[in-house]
Structure 1
Amino acid sequence: MNNTETKNRNPVKDALEILPENIRDSIARRINDVISYEPVIGIMGKTGAGKSSLCNAIFKGDICAVSNIAACTRETQEMRIQFGKRSVRLIDIPGVGENAERDAEYEQLYRDLLPQLDLVLWVIKGDDRAFSADEHFYKNVLAPAGGEAKTLFVLNQVDKIEPFREWDVVNARPSPSQMQNILDKEAYITQRFGFTDHPVIAVAASEGYNVTHLVEAMVRALPKHAQSGVASQVRDEHKTRTVTEEATEGFGDTVDRVLDDIIDNTLPAPLRVVVKAAKKAVVSGLKKAWNWIFG
């Protein structure tokens, strides 16, 4: 095979060649829907929590405003991060506890938005000590609406946690004393909010501290169909083997479900057995093509 033929090969099409011709097109369309899926992430937190710097530290694409969400407030803004052919949508939602008059509006806004979100990054400023409004909101609005599994708490700006003068500027990491206070703060937040689905992740976005760990936690917390779309948009320094492997497995599982759905609903029983025997090879081939598709 010459270089031109190799360059023009489509691994997705190649992987489907072993399937019956009459279902290839429908499967290809469904897989294309999976590949082109645009994940939606909600970013919530009080003013000054560092939401913008956090997003800039995570993603490599250009961040641009798409529209203001008119449901309640001009402060709630939708943005799109795009690098290459794929994109991620971010919905920047104001934090609770800053405006008592609007908290009731925000509660309804979150209830309306939650079904559309694949993940919520709840950003808390490292030296913030006022949690009562956040705790009430999480326990009485987000958790009952199904937000517990979708919410990842991010303790940002941990370089400001005491004793902040001990922050190791050269190596961009906390001192031993700071680290102990960070761990205590993580435990305190976990205890106050009472969640167990995902651990609190401590970062200093502007310092680049622990952002890779956060990205790995994000990919694990995302639904399988959204993992690859997010992994394709994170900065190269955060696209670790863990991120790639997690996203690849999620992509494979999603494709597996697509194949089962089409096979079970379009093929006669005798043919299903034969095609399902080939399904494993198709999924394996597509997983091997992950870097070609999403890299």
Structure 2
Amino acid sequence: MKPTLRCTVKIERDVVALVQARNAFGFLHNRQPLLSLASRWQRGDSLSHDIQVIAIGKSGYGKSTTLNQLVGEAVFETNAIAGCTREMQSAEYRFPTKEAQCHFSLADLPGIGEHPELDKQYIQLYRDAIAKAHSVIYFLRADQRDYVIDQWAFAQLFNTDAERRKVIIALNAVDKIEPLNRSQPFALTAEQIQSLRLKRHTICQQFAVCEDQIVTLSATEQHNLDGLVDRLADVLQPYLSQADTTSAYQAHWTSSVNGATY
């Protein structure tokens, strides 16, 4: 049976809800997708023009935890592989546009590295999804020593310089990098910062990416999550335009930000 990759929409909210959950998403305020550059997805009987962000990485690297922290609610789960189907999960946030239907879409692809044969079958499906993405967050762990599977998958998924430029590497679990630091509240020590510098340099070489594409964070310690969103904003700005600022549009944002239902 030919493998399929389904997408389940876990939540659908207004963009303002995402901005309220994390202020760093404020770059989406009063903006909308440039329709000529948006990804087009069929939603029921209508066509949606989306800003698409996709997260990918091995299971256990903290994708779901990080994404849930970013959106401020428990949306993304780890699902077992069932037969020849693996599930992509997404959180959808509507832009209050006047004309075309538009969303900011944050999708979590199934973890790689659990079943090598299935990984080979699904590479093309992953590439198809990534081709429609404006940015891809690729997760690694700071305390991981062996990136062989990640290097294989990364090389398969991002064949060209243009494809690699859309990647943000989220180097998670920096709290676990040696020498271990159990301070509360968590803060990186000078020794850990030096270890991270060496780790970033190694990743740049192994994955052929620039150092500014790497964001170091800890989802469990909620360390530098805003830094990840800030980097995402840098990547996505060219695909966004100023939104309609008519009184009705502005009233929608104003009432929502002030706590009205949306």
Query: What's the TM-score once normalised by structure 2's chain length?
Result: 0.64
Partners of 1:44 and 1:123 within 8 A in 2: yes
Amino acid at match of 1:57: Q
1:33/1:158 CA distance change after superposition, 3 Å:
closer
Asked if 1:77 corresponds to 2:67, the answer is: no
CA distance in 2: counterparts of 1:175 and 1:198, whole angstroms = 21
Deviations 1:232-275 (A, max 9, x none): xxxxxxxxxxxxxxxxxx424xx7xxxxxxxxxxxxxxxxxxxx
Separation of aligned partners in 2, 1:196 and 1:49: 21
Q: Number of matched residues?
A: 206
Displacement of 1:199: 2.2
Deviation digits for residues 42-78 of structure 1 (CA, Å, limit 9, x no counterpart): 111111111111012212367378xx9999532x322
Are the equivalent residues in 1 in contact too, given 2:33–2:241 (CA < 8 A)? no
Q: Shift of residue 203 of structure 1?
A: 0.1
Cα deviation, 1:201-242, whole Å, max 9, x if unaligned, reads: 1001111111111110011112533xxxxxxxxxxxxxxxxx
Residue of structure 2 in register with 1:210 after alignment: 224
Q: In the TM superposition, what is the alpha-carbon distance from 1:40 to its structure 2 partner?
A: 2.0
> Residues of 2 paired with 1:151 and 1:50: CA distance?
17
**Could you tell me how far apart the structure 1 residues matched to 2:140 and 2:211 are?**
17
Match of 1:168 in 2: 183
Contact 2:164-2:209 within 8 A present in 1 as well: yes
Map Cα deviations across residues 97-144 of structure 1 (whole Å, 9 max, x no partner): 332111211211122112221211111122112212221222343133
Distance 1:32 1:193 in 2: 30
**In structure 2, do the counterparts of structure 1 residues 40 and 162 end up closer, same or farther at CA, with 3 Å as the change threshold?**
same
Partners of 2:81 and 2:235 in 1: how far apart?
A: 25
CA shift, 1:89, in A, is 2.6
Structure 1 pair 183–251 and aligned structure 2 pair: CA distance change class (3 A): same
> Structure 1: which 5+ residue stretches go unaligned?
1-30, 226-249, 256-281
What code does the residue aligned with 1:44 have? I
C-alpha RMSD over aligned residues: 3.9
2:127 to 83, 103, 111: 111
- Specify the SS of the correspondent of 1:191: helix
Question: Could you say which structure has the higher helix fraction?
Answer: 1
Matches of 2:33 and 2:148, distance apart in 1: 45
Distance 2:33 2:112 in 1: 38
Q: What's 1:251 paired with?
A: 241
Match of 2:64 in 1: 52
**Runs of at least 5 residues in structure 2 that lack an aligned partner in the other structure:** 1-31, 39-47, 97-101, 258-262
Which one has the largest radius of gyration?
1
Where 1:90 maps in the other structure, the secondary structure is: strand
Structure 1 CA distance, aligned partners of 2:74 and 2:93? 6
User: Of 139, 148, 165, which residue of structure 2 is paired with 1:123?
Assistant: 139
The answer (yes or no) to whether the contact 1:61–1:83 under 8 Å persists in 2 is no
- What do residues 73-106 of structure 1 show as CA deviations (whole Å, max 9, x unaligned)? 32x3222244896854333223433321112112
Matches within 5 A, 1:130-209: 130-144=146-160, 146-164=162-180, 166-170=181-185, 172-196=186-210, 198-209=212-223
C-alpha distance in 2 between matches for 1:153 and 1:114:
14
* 1:114 to 1:37, Cα distance in 2 relative to 1, 3 A: same
